[in-house]
Amino acid sequence: YRFLTKTKEFLSKQPEQILRLDDAGKLYRELGFPRGRKVTKFISRYPLLFTSYRHSDNKIWLGFTDFMDQLLLEERSIMEAMEEDRVTRIRKLLMMSKNKRIPLSKIYHKRLIFGIPEDFRDKIGKYPDYFRLVVEDDGKQILELVNWDPSLAVSALEKEFLVNEDKVKKAFKFPVKYGKDLGLEENDVKKLNLLNTLPLVSPYSDGWKLDSWSLEAEKYRVGIIHEFLSLTLEKRALIHHIVEFKEEFSLTRQTYEMLKRQPWTFYLAGTEMNWAVFLKDGYDENGNLIDKDPLLVFNEKLYKFAQMQEEEEEEEEISGFREKLRED
């Protein structure tokens, strides 16, 4: 649904939420369709959501249908209701970062996985007690944390530990590196390894100061990624979502191998160069997301309308083909 998502966002920012079709055909990046393809082909896939019409200037324009306008009002209402939650997510990201500051562009580019609205940059001024926007000499805008909130410096894993200590203890394994010449019995090896399962180093601590290759530093980075994923709407992220923040979260090039060592907590899909990481705790035994954010529920409904329309068109084509056969 790349075209649907990007075109919805782009059109929403236009005056009167309309766009000349001639211009739309040139905006393949902004609207999310392949270069060299006709935009009308993609528009026609969603007749319930997008419409084109001839204006008084004799030009054809692209806009939303009345039905889509109603859906957008519903989405806006959800975003307004969830604003405090989104602000909290941004605060927690800043609190996890090395210097309590993140380039604004990074948050903007990855906003969708956290459910952060497109216009959040315009709302930063509403929260002077939380955020400070700094413009560096090169013009780069940096979002800084103004006040540290101890109540937010509690990770999802720490909360789960209070509820089910045994479950969390079994979620991570950090085997101790020892020489084979120690001659340890199997039970002794298990006991030794058990000492290094917990506790993780809090993602809200100064773990970035630890020796990069120490066991404690690895626990810290595992905790960072666990908390990062817990802040996403779908409890999952692609590699480029994570790597985008490698400097702020002190991640290393060994992130993929590090996560492979924690199969009880993370599920990796894809290849090392193009992979996604899922937080297993966020899903039930059938692979369904346990806790769905209201925005996710809305998106599912929106995509269902789009999918239903595509299926209806396919059914119409099949019906037309059958009628043609009967006529012949």
* Stronger pLDDT, 140 or 180, i.e. the higher one: 140
The pLDDT score that the predictor gives to residue 190 is: 57
Query: Token pair for residue 126?
Result: 């509403």
* Residue at 201: amino acid letter: V
* Stronger pLDDT, 208 or 101, i.e. the higher one: 101
pLDDT category at 179 given cuts 50, 70, 90 is: very low
pLDDT at residue 183 tops 70: no
d(CA 19, CA 62): 5
Per cent of the chain over pLDDT 70 is: 83
The pLDDT score that the predictor gives to residue 212 is: 82
pLDDT at residue 233 tops 90: yes
Q: 2-74 maps to which CATH number?
A: 1.10.10
Domain range summary for the chain, segments of one domain joined by +: 2-74, 84-145, 154-282
pLDDT at residue 310 tops 60: no
**Would you report the helix, strand and coil content of the chain in percent, each value rounded to 5?**
50, 15, 35
The pLDDT score that the predictor gives to residue 130 is: 97
Q: pLDDT for 50-94, tens place per residue?
A: 999 888 888 999 999 999 999 999 999 999 999 999 999 999 999
Query: Token pair for residue 208?
Result: 């970035």
Mean pLDDT throughout 264-271? 88
Query: Token pair for residue 187?
Result: 């039970």
Which DSSP letter does residue 14 get? S
Q: Where are the alpha helices (DSSP H) in the chain?
A: 2-12, 21-24, 28-31, 39-43, 66-81, 83-96, 104-109, 111-114, 120-123, 156-163, 165-169, 186-194, 215-231, 239-243, 255-260, 294-327
d(CA 241, CA 228): 10
The pLDDT score that the predictor gives to residue 239 is: 84
Which DSSP letter does residue 51 get? E
pLDDT at residue 171 tops 80: no
Per cent of the chain over pLDDT 90 is: 60
The pLDDT score that the predictor gives to residue 301 is: 94
pLDDT category at 15 given cuts 50, 70, 90 is: confident
d(CA 154, CA 96): 11
pLDDT category at 282 given cuts 50, 70, 90 is: very high
| In contact, 67 and 48? CB cutoff 8 Å | yes
The pLDDT score that the predictor gives to residue 10 is: 94
The pLDDT score that the predictor gives to residue 18 is: 93
pLDDT category at 192 given cuts 50, 70, 90 is: low
Three-state DSSP class for residue 19: strand
pLDDT category at 322 given cuts 50, 70, 90 is: very low
Query: Token pair for residue 198?
Result: 């917990």
